[in-house]
Amino acid sequence: MVAQRLPQYMTLDEYHELMRKNPDAKYEYLDGQVYVMAGGTANHARISSNVLRQFEDALGDGPCTVYNSDLSVRLSESRYVFPDATVTCDENDQGEVTTIQSPRLVVEILSDSTEGYDRGRKFMYYRQCPTLEEYVLIATDHQAVEVFRRTEDGWTAYHAYAAGDTVELVSIGVTLPVAALYRRTTVKAFL
């Protein structure tokens, strides 16, 4: 998804009012700046669907739940974002809520227009969220998955996976083949 900044500063109350009045739109809120989210490609949508399906199947009826990009994630009092997928294991993040308060794992599907931001500033925001344990980046120009993991020493664990590999997500106890994330896409195995 591509983010475009709206030209004005908003208070948090104004942001919540904007979201209440526009429930079908997605606006990220970062330190007073509001960014409207735009759509992506068919490959992006397909990968997102595959992620949700694989996570749903792997998590089963356990305590953790995966959500798509329809729910915002509160990273701090002044930062609300819309990841492509979010897993939470907090029972307070269920039912009629519109914002995930305790994300455990987030997934961003990369595109040419968002890759720099997802790897840079947005990753910095995610690292500051105390409940987040893993950050997953999925490429759309070739089959590659990167997992960044919080350890006792901070965000020091990095794992890269390619076509034919199996991704391990320690924070939610899930393993899944890279191929399953790219099912029914036109994304090639290698650049």
Average pLDDT of the chain is 94
> Which band of pLDDT confidence, cut at 50, 70 and 90, is reported for residue 7?
low
pTM of the model: 0.94
pLDDT at 39: 79
pLDDT at 22: 92
154: left (phi over 0), alpha (psi -120 to 50) or beta: left
Task: For residue 35, list its beta bridge partners.
Answer: 5, 28
Task: Quote the DSSP letter at residue 159.
Answer: E
Going from N- to C-terminal start, the domains of the chain cover 41-181
* Average pLDDT value for residue range 53-71: 97
Beta 103-109 vs 134-138: how paired, if at all?
A: parallel
Q: 41-181 adopts what CATH topology?
A: tt1808, chain A (3.90.1570)
Decide which of 2 and 130 is more confident: 130
pLDDT at 113: 87
Owner of token pair 């997992």: 147
Amino acid, single-letter form, for residue 67:
Y
> Which band of pLDDT confidence, cut at 50, 70 and 90, is reported for residue 3?
low
pLDDT in tens, 81-96: 999 999 999 999 999 9
Q: How far is CA 49 from the centre of its chain?
A: 13
pLDDT at 40: 87
pLDDT at 38: 79
Decide which of 23 and 78 is more confident: 78
Task: Give percent above pLDDT 70 in the chain.
Answer: 96
pLDDT at 5: 64
Query: Is pLDDT of 2 > 60?
Result: no
Residues 6+ apart with CB under 8 A from 108: 83, 84, 114, 118, 122, 135, 136, 137, 138
